[in-house]
Every structure is written in structure tokens, then in C-alpha cells.
């Protein structure tokens, strides 16, 4: 579990153009140093760079962004990503490219929602992900989505006598998975990174196939619905429901799972995993006072081998709270720091933008 030791109290802001009173987002560079510690990785230190810019001069066009993150640890683990997220003029097209590499130890408990803590075994892998998608407006706020994702996973270290060392889970010796996505979404949020009003909903079927270079063949369906509203004048309530389901042969590290820095905060990544997963959460966000705000959140999630089994069995709760610091009031860019508590576990997460 990543425990935050220090986050710089202020960002280094480099403005490429002076601020003005119009509503066009000016190019701005934000650099945040990050230092953290965990018993598994030791001291982790690095930095995140975030640049917000706008295509054209139409104030209705959503801000685009460039983000870079890199960190290393005293135990030679690394994590890095680079992403460009671009909105065209008048929001007619959104395109995003993301390259990520992670080489961290992670826990594996097996498959299913009833896996006990005694099943825990640790493994280390190098995972490189390349993702590209384009969303084209059909009739705003409706968009058509097309994308491609490549995930290269190489398991490097396993525990002696564990399931992974024995090669029992699919993909335990590594995998190359290529999947194509095609779907629809509706996006009426007033702000992408820190929404206060509007709705976001997407349904994305995808297919991993040997015809496009994948080692595994499976189908996946993801559904993500969110709603935002203002209450008590300046506070925000946000609600999210997510479904992730697959059919076919899937590597163990790509199964639908519980545990992330944006949903089911408080559980380590992959604590529970299976063919089907559902998570839901609600978050209350306070108004900002001198750029500082607070949030409280609660959620629940479960996994199951089939869609019909999701309604029965154990659901796992998630509770927590966090603070927000507004880096840029004009476009509402925030840094978040959350403490999430799960059943028998907790986690501290830091990032740019709201969790959802």
C-alpha cells in the first residue's frame, strides 16, 4: 500500500501567456514533486508535469492537456506515463494517446470474491500499455468511440510455491494483448477534470483477437455512468456506477477487478478479481475556501464468475475522505489527496483531477 510521505504544498507554475479576463484557457505548466514510502517499494520519489492548453480561441472548446509522470524507488521499481488528451475546436473530436510503464510488486489472491488473506502471494512484473482512441461527435453530447489498446506484460518475480510460479493462472508467464474498441458515449459535463453538473455515460465493447496480434482471444464490455449536481449553493454531489465483464480466455492481470485510485479506494489493486465486476460510489465535494476543499466518499463493489452471480454474495465497502487544492481556478484543475478504507485494508492516493 502506498503511503504518502510528502507532497509539495505548492506547485511550480510557469505561464506561457499572461492571464486575461476572457474565458479562453491560457497555456500553463504545472510541476509537482512527489515523495512517498511503502514497505514494499521503499522510498519512492519523482515528479508529475501537467500542461493545460486550448485549441483555437473559442471559449466553448474544452481544454486539452499534456501530462508526464515518472518515479523510481530505492528498490529499483519504476512507474512512468505520458499522455496527450486533445479536444478539437467546438469539441467535435477528442483524441487521446497514453503510454505507460509500471514495474511494481503487486499482491495476487486468486480469482473470486471469497479469496482469503492467507492466499496472498506477491509478484513483480513489467507492464507496458499503449492506448489510443478517437471520439467523434455524432450530435453533441453524443460521441462515437473507436480505440486500440496494447498491453505487454512480463512476470519477473514470483513467490516460491505460489500459483504464479506453478504457471496456473492464464498469463502467468507473460502476455501480449491487443484489443480494439468501438462504442458510444454521452458527455454533458461542464468540466472534464472537475465537473459540477452534467452526465457522463459510456458503453464500450472491445475484442482481443489473434487477427490483430493478441496472444489471447476474449470479448469485454465496459459501462460507466456518472451524474453530477450542485446542492447547498456551492457543494457538489457526484455518483458513479461501473460494470466490467469479459468472456473468453483472459490473462489474470487483465481480469475485471476491485481496487484502484479512482474507484474502490482503500483496496490494493486486484484484491478481488473475476470474470465480472461492479463498483458504485458517491462523493460529496465541498466548496473551495482559498483554493482548498474537502471530499467524503463511500462505495461498494463485488466480483463474480458470471453476470447472474453478481446479485448474490459478498459486497465490499469503501469509505474515505480527502482534500483538494485548486491549481488553476479558471479551468478548475485540482490536485487530490484521498484516504480510502476498505475491509481490512486502506490506501492513500494522489493525483491530478477529481477521482471521477
pLDDT above 50 (res 2): no
Q: Are 333 and 327 in contact (CB under 8 A)?
A: yes
What pLDDT is attached to residue 42?
A: 58
pLDDT of residue 259: 85
Q: What is the mean pLDDT of residues 184-208?
A: 96
Average pLDDT over residues 207-211: 97
What is d(CA 348, CA 33) in angstroms, rounded to the nearest whole number? 17
Mean pLDDT across the chain:
88
Model pLDDT for residues 262-293, shown as the tens digit of each residue: 899 988 888 999 999 999 999 999 999 999 99
Instruction: Please count the structural domains in the chain.
Output: 1
Confidence bin at 17 (pLDDT 50/70/90): very low
pLDDT at 326 over 90: yes
CATH code of the domain containing 17 = 2.40.160.50
Q: How far is CA 341 from CA 265, 283, 345, in A?
A: 7, 14, 6
Full residue range of the structural domain in which residue 227 is found? 3-352
pLDDT, tens digit (0-9, with 9 covering 90-100), for 214-235? 999 999 999 999 999 999 889 9
pTM for this prediction: 0.86
**C-beta of residue 268 within 8 angstroms of C-beta of residue 285:** no
How far apart are alpha carbons 140 and 91 in whole angstroms? 8
What residues contact 119, with CB distance under 8 A and at least 6 apart? 109, 110
Question: Quick one: cell of 58?
Answer: 473559442
Amino acid at each position: 500500500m502506498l503511503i504518502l510521505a510528502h507532497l509539495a504544498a505548492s506547485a511550480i507554475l510557469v505561464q506561457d501567456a499572461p492571464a486575461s479576463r476572457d474565458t479562453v484557457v491560457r497555456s500553463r505548466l504545472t510541476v509537482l514533486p512527489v515523495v512517498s514510502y511503502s514497505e514494499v517499494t521503499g522510498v519512492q520519489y519523482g515528479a508529475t508535469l501537467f500542461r493545460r492548453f486550448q485549441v483555437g480561441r473559442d471559449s466553448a472548446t474544452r481544454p486539452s492537456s499534456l501530462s508526464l509522470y515518472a518515479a523510481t524507488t530505492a528498490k529499483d521499481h519504476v512507474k512512468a506515463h505520458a499522455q496527450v488528451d486533445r479536444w478539437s475546436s467546438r469539441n467535435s473530436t477528442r483524441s487521446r494517446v497514453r503510454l505507460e510503464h509500471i514495474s511494481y510488486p503487486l499482491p495476487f489472491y486468486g480469482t473470486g470474491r471469497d479469496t482469503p488473506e492467507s492466499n496472498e502471494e506477491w509478484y513483480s512484473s513489467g507492464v507496458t500499455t499503449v492506448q489510443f482512441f478517437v471520439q467523434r461527435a455524432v450530435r453533441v453530447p453524443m460521441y462515437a468511440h473507436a480505440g486500440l489498446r496494447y498491453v505487454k506484460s512480463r512476470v519477473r518475480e514470483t513467490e516460491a510455491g505460489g500459483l504464479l510460479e506453478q504457471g496456473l493462472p492464464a498469463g502467468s508467464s507473460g502476455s501480449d494483448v491487443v484489443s480494439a474498441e468501438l462504442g458510444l458515449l454521452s458527455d454533458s459535463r461542464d468540466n472534464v477534470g472537475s465537473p459540477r453538473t452534467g452526465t457522463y455515460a459510456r458503453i464500450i465493447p472491445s475484442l482481443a483477437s489473434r487477427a490483430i496480434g493478441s496472444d489471447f482471444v476474449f470479448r469485454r464490455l465496459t459501462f460507466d455512468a456518472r451524474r453530477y449536481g450542485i446542492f447547498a449553493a456551492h457543494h457538489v454531489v457526484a455518483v458513479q456506477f461501473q460494470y466490467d465483464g469479459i468472456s473468453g480466455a483472459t490473462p489474470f492481470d487483465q481480469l475485471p477487478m476491485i481496487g484502484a485510485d479512482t474507484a474502490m479506494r482503500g483496496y490494493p489493486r486486484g484484491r478481488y478479481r473475476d470474470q465480472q465486476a461492479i463498483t458504485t460510489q458517491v462523493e460529496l465535494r465541498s466548496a473551495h475556501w482559498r483554493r482548498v476543499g474537502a471530499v467524503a466518499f463511500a462505495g461498494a463493489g463485488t466480483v463474480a464468475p458470471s453476470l447472474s452471480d453478481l446479485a448474490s454474495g459478498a459486497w465490499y465497502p469503501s469509505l474515505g475522505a480527502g482534500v483538494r487544492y485548486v491549481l488553476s481556478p479558471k479551468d478548475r484543475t485540482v490536485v487530490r489527496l484521498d484516504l480510502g478504507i476498505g475491509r481490512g485494508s486502506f490506501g492513500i492516493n494522489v493525483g491530478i483531477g477529481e477521482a471521477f
